[in-house]
Amino acid sequence: MLSLHKQTGYTMTKEVKEVYDHLKKNDVDFYDVWDDNGIIYIDVKLGDWKHSHLHLRNIMEKFGYTLIDRDIYDTEYGDTFSATYTYLKLN
């Protein structure tokens, strides 16, 4: 079943909706979630390294996803930066 993404209005796959709902339930600070052929991407914009980025990584690991890449951008704000995380569910 597909549903609409609340932030963008785009259609979400079942897996993206599950991840999106799980992140919201666990108060993870993120901007967007999307997928491409079973790979999940999560974008964090100008998040604190500990409260946004580390929290996201811990929650996703507990949810059964493995971090396979991280692309950091907007780094000129000290402990606050932006990054896109790439995850794969191994189970």
Tens digits of residue pLDDT in 19-46: 999 999 999 999 999 999 889 999 999 9
pTM value is: 0.86
Mean pLDDT of the chain: 89
22 contacts 56 by C-beta, under 8 angstroms = no
Task: Check whether 63 has a pLDDT greater than 80.
Answer: yes
Confidence label for 58 from pLDDT (cuts 50, 70 and 90): very high
Which residues are 39's β-sheet partners?
Answer: 36, 88
d(CA 9, CA 18): 16
Provide CB contacts within 8 A for 90, sequence distance 6+: 64, 65, 66
d(CA 50, CA 7): 24
Q: What is the number of other CB atoms lying within 10 angstroms of the CB of residue 23?
A: 19
Q: Report pLDDT digits (tens) over 74-89.
A: 887 788 999 999 999 9
